Structure 1
């Protein structure tokens, strides 16, 4: 056997035969030009409808998150903007329909990548829809997961949500991808299924004659073989019991809340019994807008998300945009290094009017609901910035102001920042990429963005200590919060709320309820002392056994 390494994103060890997901379809050619562009363009909508119909049929056979994923993908397939753009490319440039869909979808995917944050990860969904429509137009079988004849290890370049939404967990022993990272769909899916997974395994698809594999999600290793490998099923601990109240076994409260970015996300969070919202991303209201949305438009959009959480906390993040997430009405221009440029709250220093109008819309949406609304700012680096934002939030009539800790300087100044605001929330995804100078969308650097990195945990501990000293809330709203094993560690480090995708809520709530707070403190100390992410996981497992 040969051994490859990647990032372990779901614990356990399993082995068995390999099933490989086919790569994307080859790029469609630009020629020949259609003899009748109008007739060629007319082929696109029926193809998209056929793709959507099949996805909706699959959605009708499942429930929960799988149903939501398939319905969302089906809606993408019949997105009027995507279809219209593709049709215009046929009639305007005489492109064949498959090529037009390819270019139109790539444009949408590029826009999502530029938007960054969780939206960048949706680019994979658009590519999946693109390939399905192109396959329909070309009369070929779309790429995707083949039929399983026996329990197997699934390997792929990457996995699209629609491919995996209705996987049979009894037939999938483990997931392994060459691309992706700790926040990828593969990671989230594997934890939900309770199976081992390793992502960012460089060289995986180049292994010749791959027949079997042994996958260790704790160590992030994959042993490959050209011969049959005995089937070994990882022990599945199960979600366990959770009463809907986030707390340790001895009653220390740790709120389990959700990340949302749309009304559909809000409904999913309510269905999962989330105790509120730890991160309401407001960018959905601005994306694709040439002009800034009117205050009333924003108010209505925010109310749809906030309203379901009557009597529960909702933390609204103000607009996180800039040169790295361009919006036409901001006129940001091009920067040589946009991730380190004018973004997040820094935009508001130049355009305070945009922030003021957004706060006015949030005040209106709050008045129309019974939720306990707070507001926080992204990309805060200094105490002065935090105080500047808090002053404006309070002047707008909102009772609670906080900031995100995404910049190492803010983590190092956590005590002073908490003195100026009411709470902080740690964005572990961005904090990791800034700590390690590693783009979290770059699969080759995924190991550096592992939320179990001890250096990252030590920064989180510093923020947690500041929260304890000042008796102010400290949340985590990155994907680190969705790891049930890591959740207890974060609580032990002083984190008082964990915000995650709705699908992870029950498992995290159940994991917190398994041990008393003192045990989680011991596990946190063990993780802080570890030299590597894999050793940190091992130390925590030992502390919790």
Structure 2
């Protein structure tokens, strides 16, 4: 097989020998314990605790998004409900390994059925289960191989615990057969700036030691490369490194059309890195970190302190804050923890906040006070506040009016639901801006849970149906003279970023490490060319065809004609 194709993450290219991830531990046999339930309970609890502490330590070392993911894994490992299931199996005489396997599998299946945020956590439970079983057996935890030299890591998929602490001096690139552009592997690889290709059919046939070229820009793994191919790939890698170290300029197209490049942040701690990497502000500040680990809503004072830290890091620059995006898929006892059959379609986002309006009012109070304090101290940012999961004009009017009541000067909405995209002309007539969350918009457009592996192939923002909805929002923005941003993972795809601008996006927000590649991609095209590339993608029937059509239209020969 001369090449393997998948979805590339970024524009990077790397070459090296393959090292395959070890296979998972086999399913423990269903046999009777030889040491009794009491002894088994003790050894299982010791193993679970050890694994949880190791995950926390890995998270602390990795920081950023990886730390959030790994800390969530550690919490899930020690969940009391899970422990009860393990104890019940041990009471039946099962071995510790078998009890852990069965309990984690049952818990994983329950959470997968719930979907949304909990479904995401369920996908990580396989890794935790493997680590606990390995600890019980006295074996090394399944993980990244160490062949003693730099290598291209090939795996079915990567657990967050492995991706978070990859040694970038040894791991030249990552290739996985599973996953899509919004999978954990893709998100964490993008966040760490790793050359990666995910969803690569045929990756399982790549052999240990085989020399390959991994070209994320084209989504191709080249096997048995020629000397010329290796030289060209090396030259591209050197040119990309030189471009990344060049002076940072504001985001713009080749004709000078400004396209501000902003950062997605989960807390204020990442602000300094984002600025260093060229972020011109913040396009999505997720406030969930203040709420998800709390047993009760944070106070206005606690929230204000966090917002002041954020605003001080971006004086004079745009900072877009999303109010709490939670609900049944991210259950909070003080918001809404009622069971729902399909939480992705339930009381979440603005719906949950409307039902518990005091939480929304407190958050708006804290944001307004932080904004005033920052301005008084001469550290004011240009604060924009938006609501998640808006579905109609009524919700838009509700949130925008409430934000105005608290003195928020720029209020807007997230477009993540197809109805909002279809009504964007009316929605943007009553609010200040729209920001498109491409992850959820794709999920709801394609009726495919973005966290469910079995339908991962549907979760692709390149699909023409998704692109047409984005165009409708872009058109509505031009009609109303209102800005339209993109803050989903799609904005971090360098070629798709060009398409999004061609569809009417006026700013792009992404993981800070993706900024350099997107900046370079935009500088290669004029606005007219971006629109032509977007039209080429729209005139197709599938995500794969749209991506291929855009690549063809963006080639130097075709772009010169556009």
Normalised TM-score (structure 1): 0.80
Select which of 395, 401, 409 maps to 2:405: 395
Where does structure 2 lack aligned partners over 5 or more consecutive residues?
Answer: 375-379
Deviation at 1:526, TM superposition (A): 3.3
Q: Give the direction of change, closer, same or farther, for the CA distance of 1:337–1:37 in structure 2 (3 Å limit).
A: closer
Are residues 335 and 81 of structure 1, via their aligned partners in 2, closer, same or farther at CA, if it must alter by over 3 Å?
closer
Within a 5 Å distance, the mapping from 1:461-472 to structure 2 comes to 461-472=471-482
CA distance in 2, matches of 1:242, 1:121: 38
1:275 and 2:275 equivalent?
Answer: no
Taking a change above 3 Å as real, the CA distance of residues 44 and 523 of structure 1, as seen in their structure-2 partners, is: closer
CA RMSD of aligned residues (A): 4.3
Structure 2 distance, partners of 1:368, 1:199, is 47
Distance 1:89 1:337 in 2: 25
Q: Match for residue 63 of structure 1?
A: none
**Aligned-partner SS, 1:376:** strand
* Contact 2:11–2:494 (Cα < 8 Å) also in 1: no
1:540 aligned to which of 554, 557, 561: 554
Output the CA distance in 2 between the equivalents of 1:404 and 1:282.
14
How has the CA–CA distance of structure 1 residues 377 and 156 changed in structure 2, closer, same or farther, with 3 Å as cutoff? Answer: same
User: Mean alpha-carbon deviation: is it higher for 382-391 or for 185-194?
Assistant: 185-194
TM-score normalized by structure 2? 0.78
Partner of 2:240, secondary structure, is: coil
1:87 and 1:322 map into 2 onto residues whose CA distance is 22
1:89-140 residue CA offsets vs partner (Å, 9 max, x unmatched):
69977968878988689979987996846x9657666765665565455431
Residue 19 of structure 1 deviates from its aligned partner by 2.0
Q: Is the 8 A contact 2:18 2:208 kept in 1?
A: yes
Q: CA deviation at 1:540?
A: 2.4
Q: Residues 76, 351 of structure 1: CA spacing in aligned structure 2 closer, same or farther, 3 A cutoff?
A: closer
- The 3 A distance-change label for structure 1 pair 287 and 147 is same
Offset at 1:376? 1.0
Partner residue in 1 for 2:438? 428
The question of 1:258 aligning with 2:272 is answered: no
Which residue number in structure 2 is paired with residue 146 of structure 1?
Answer: 145
Partner of 2:22: 22
Cα-to-partner distance string for 1:411-456 (whole Å, 9 max, x where unaligned)? 1221211111000001111111122222212334333322222332
Question: What is the distance in 2 between the residues matched to 1:476 and 1:135?
Answer: 42
Partner Cα distance (1:337, 1:51) in 2: 30
Task: Give 2:488's match in structure 1, choosing from 478, 482, 489.
Answer: 478
Q: Separation in 2 of the partners of 1:339 and 1:36?
A: 38
Q: How many residues align?
A: 530
Pair 270,126 (structure 1): closer, same or farther in 2 beyond 3 Å: farther
Q: Secondary structure at the match of 1:379?
A: strand
Aligned partners of 1:75, 1:335: CA distance in 2, in Å? 25
User: Shift in Å at residue 163 of structure 1?
Assistant: 2.7
Identify the match of residue 354 of structure 1 among 359, 380, 402.
359
Matched, 1:297 2:307: no
How many angstroms apart in 2 are the aligned matches of 1:121 and 1:84?
16
Deviations 1:42-77 (A, max 9, x none): 676566556766887xx5xxxxxx675776678678
Q: How far does the alpha carbon of each residue in 1:508-535 deviate from its partner, in whole angstroms, 9 at most, with x for none?
A: 2343344443443333333333451333
**281 and 13 in structure 1: CA distance in 2 versus 1, 3 angstrom threshold:** closer
- Which residue of structure 2 lines up, in the alignment, with residue 529 of structure 1? 539
Instruction: Evaluate the alpha carbon distance shift between residue 360 and residue 434 of structure 1 in structure 2; reply closer, same or farther with a 3 A threshold.
Output: same
Could you tell me whether the CA contact under 8 Å between 1:10 and 1:195 is conserved in 2? yes
Deviation at 1:151, TM superposition (A): 6.1
